[in-house]
Amino acid sequence: MPEASVVGHIRVKNASLWDQYRSQVPATLEPWGGQLVFRGSQLAAFAGECPYSEIVVLRFPSGEAAQGWFASPAYQALIPIRAQAADVQLISYAI
C-alpha cells in the first residue's frame, strides 16, 4: 500500500481565520498517522501561472489514511472556518 501526500494550494482571504484554522489541523492529523511535511509561500512561478500564494504538503501512511483524515468529523468540523479563511485546493497523490 503506497504512502500518500496531500498537497494544498492556498489563497488566504482572512489571515486571522486562517491562523485559527491552521492551529487546529495538526490534532486532526495524528489519529491518521498524518504529518506536516512543509508549508511555504510562493516566490516565483517559473513556468505558467499559479494563482495560489501558499502551499502545504501533508504525508500519510496510505491513501486510505489520507481519505480517512479528510472525511473525519474532526477535520470536517474545520471546513467552515477554512472556507471563510481561504480558497483551497486539496489534492491527494500516491507516493
Which pLDDT score, from 0 to 100, does residue 1 have? 75
Query: Would the pLDDT of 95 be above 80?
Result: yes
- Can you list the alpha helix ranges (DSSP code H) found in the chain? 15-29, 63-71, 73-76, 79-85
Residue 48: which region, alpha, beta or left (left: phi > 0; alpha: psi -120 to 50)? left
81: how many CB neighbours lie within 10 A of its CB?
Answer: 16
If DSSP codes are grouped into helix, strand and coil, which group holds residue 49? coil
Domain range list for the chain: 4-94
Which pLDDT score, from 0 to 100, does residue 19 have? 97
pTM of the prediction? 0.93
Which pLDDT score, from 0 to 100, does residue 5 have? 98
**pLDDT tens track for 36-66:** 999 999 999 999 999 999 999 999 999 999 9
**pLDDT tens track for 67-86:** 999 999 999 999 999 999 99
Architecture of domain 4-94: 2-Layer Sandwich (3.30)
